[in-house]
Amino acid sequence: MLPALLHENTINLSTKEFERGAIDEVYIRCRNLGLIQYIILEHSGVLFEQSWLCECILITNVRTDRSWYFHCNKWLSLFPPGDGSLSIELYPSNKAGDLLDDRFESSLPKITDFEIVCVTGDKRNAGTDANVYITLFGKESKTKKIHLQSRSKNPFERGQSDTFNVKAEYVGELEKIRIEHDNTGRAAGWFLDRVIITDQYDPDTKYYVSCNKWLASDEGDGQISRDLICSKNELDNRKLTVFTGNKRGAGTDADVYLTLFGELGESGAILLDNKKNNFEQGSIDHFDIEIPSVGKIDKILIAHNNKNIAAGWFLDKILIDDIDQHRKYEFRCQKWLATNEDDGQIARFLLPVKGSDTGTEATAGG
């Protein structure tokens, strides 16, 4: 066992082997500690072969991008050359240059293997015959445009998952992707559900990318290229219940989108479509969605694209059941999303009603 102590929070790092000369990355989740003043590093190995020479530790808060560097260069061992101690108290260094020394730089590969899984949505005409390309953007750089090709089957068919193994430049931790097609073939339009990416240099880390949109010149917003944010959080299952008000003309024929904002980030815009005639006056519509976890939901953005003749919409409320996290939320609107009603807004931020899991006061919209 190898725990590190940060302000009395013991974190077990035993998922790694800590082999000679290795640089190990461990992703952990804990409460916000603010500025790290010191850490206590310790392990439980009492045998000679469990002796450990730790050179240094770099801790990065991935939300704020702030880093702390702790120089160690000491044996933690009960045997010589150690001093008989299995723990050490370390303080952060003020030398920023230590964070990117030659040892860290030289350990990174130039080329790496990526596993890319594309999931096509289960909608009518969701598949594409066009050529599909992806570009990966990381903290270090970006790859060239990669053509996703399959020799064994016809890829990107409706409801199908396709796996591609490609070689590309190492770009560091992934931040976003650009996925696009060339709009060729008889059926070029494509409804992309999601993408899952694994960099084989760090095979324990997967990046989840939610799309849930058309890449089609004749569907949705007409875009055939999209930039999508990568998340290390696994996909959560959520059930949405949308209540349209019982006012005259309350229903809408426009495309409706929902964005979730939480403690771990945002979901991106999610098209709400379940193959039914949704959002009619007085209706209650249900949707099952899978998106990367955003943690506890702080607020949502509900909007439509004002498309078609009857675009105006009177939204009563939205219920969200986060099945995996065992949380339920209620968001009240009770306003129009219409250019010709009330304040003319077709997008509104909503906060969860008090009594939902976050315990935040509700707002009627914004």
Output the DSSP codes for 115-171. EEEEEE-SSTT----S-EEEEEEESS-BPPPEE---SSS--S-TT-EEEEEEEEE--
Strands 174-181 and 132-138: antiparallel
Q: Using pLDDT thresholds of 50, 70 and 90, give the confidence band for residue 366.
A: very low
Task: Kindly tell me if the per-residue pLDDT of 346 is higher than 80.
Answer: yes
| Residue closest to 341 by CA, chosen among 299, 307, 301, 306 | 306
pLDDT recorded at residue 105: 55
| Residue closest to 316 by CA, chosen among 356, 352, 366, 281 | 281
pLDDT in tens, 105-123: 555 678 899 999 999 988 8
Please give the average per-residue pLDDT across 43-56, as a whole number.
85
| Residue closest to 191 by CA, chosen among 181, 176, 200 | 181
pLDDT in tens, 173-191: 898 999 999 999 989 999 9
pLDDT recorded at residue 210: 84
Please report where in the chains the tokens 């290390």 appear, as a residue: 232
pLDDT in tens, 149-158: 988 779 999 9
Full 3-state SS string of 257-300: EEEEEECCEECCCEECCCCCCCCCCCCEEEEEEEEECCCCEEEE
pLDDT recorded at residue 103: 53
Task: Kindly tell me if the per-residue pLDDT of 211 is higher than 80.
Answer: yes
Please give the average per-residue pLDDT across 18-35, as a whole number.
78
Which of these ranges, 59-73, 302-316, 337-351, has the smallest mean pLDDT?
59-73
| Residue closest to 134 by CA, chosen among 159, 158, 166 | 166
Helix, strand, or coil (residue 102) = helix
Name the strand (E) or helix (H) holding 103: helix 102-106
pLDDT recorded at residue 173: 87
In this predicted model, which residue has the larger pLDDT, 291 or 15?
A: 291
Strands 146-147 and 256-262: unpaired
The Cα 83–Cα 59 span in angstroms is 26
Q: Using pLDDT thresholds of 50, 70 and 90, give the confidence band for residue 220.
A: confident
Residue 295 corresponds to which tokens in the numbers above? 């943690």
| Residue closest to 42 by CA, chosen among 8, 92, 77, 73 | 77
pLDDT in tens, 266-288: 777 888 988 788 999 999 999 98
Task: Kindly tell me if the per-residue pLDDT of 100 is higher than 70.
Answer: no
Share the mean pLDDT of the chain.
84
- The string of DSSP codes covering 310-332 is S--EEEEEEEEEETTTTEEEEEE
Task: Kindly tell me if the per-residue pLDDT of 130 is higher than 90.
Answer: yes
Please give the average per-residue pLDDT across 337-341, as a whole number.
92
pLDDT recorded at residue 365: 43
Please give the average per-residue pLDDT across 204-222, as a whole number.
87
pTM of the model: 0.54
What structural domains and CATH numbers belong to the chain? 3-106 (2.60.60), 111-229 (2.60.60.20), 236-350 (2.60.60.20)
Task: Kindly tell me if the per-residue pLDDT of 19 is higher than 70.
Answer: yes
In this predicted model, which residue has the larger pLDDT, 48 or 13?
A: 48
Q: Using pLDDT thresholds of 50, 70 and 90, give the confidence band for residue 225.
A: very high
Residue 31 corresponds to which tokens in the numbers above? 């409460």
- Report whether 207 contacts 176 (CB < 8 A): no
pLDDT recorded at residue 162: 94
Please give the average per-residue pLDDT across 21-29, as a whole number.
79
| Residue closest to 207 by CA, chosen among 27, 348, 38 | 27
Burial of residue 20 (number of CB atoms within 10 Å: 0-12, 13-18, 19+): exposed
- Report whether 354 contacts 360 (CB < 8 A): yes
pLDDT recorded at residue 15: 57
Full 3-state SS string of 196-221: EEEECCCCCCEEEEEEEEEECCCCCC
Task: Kindly tell me if the per-residue pLDDT of 104 is higher than 60.
Answer: no
Helix, strand, or coil (residue 97) = helix
Please give the average per-residue pLDDT across 10-32, as a whole number.
74
Task: Kindly tell me if the per-residue pLDDT of 143 is higher than 90.
Answer: yes
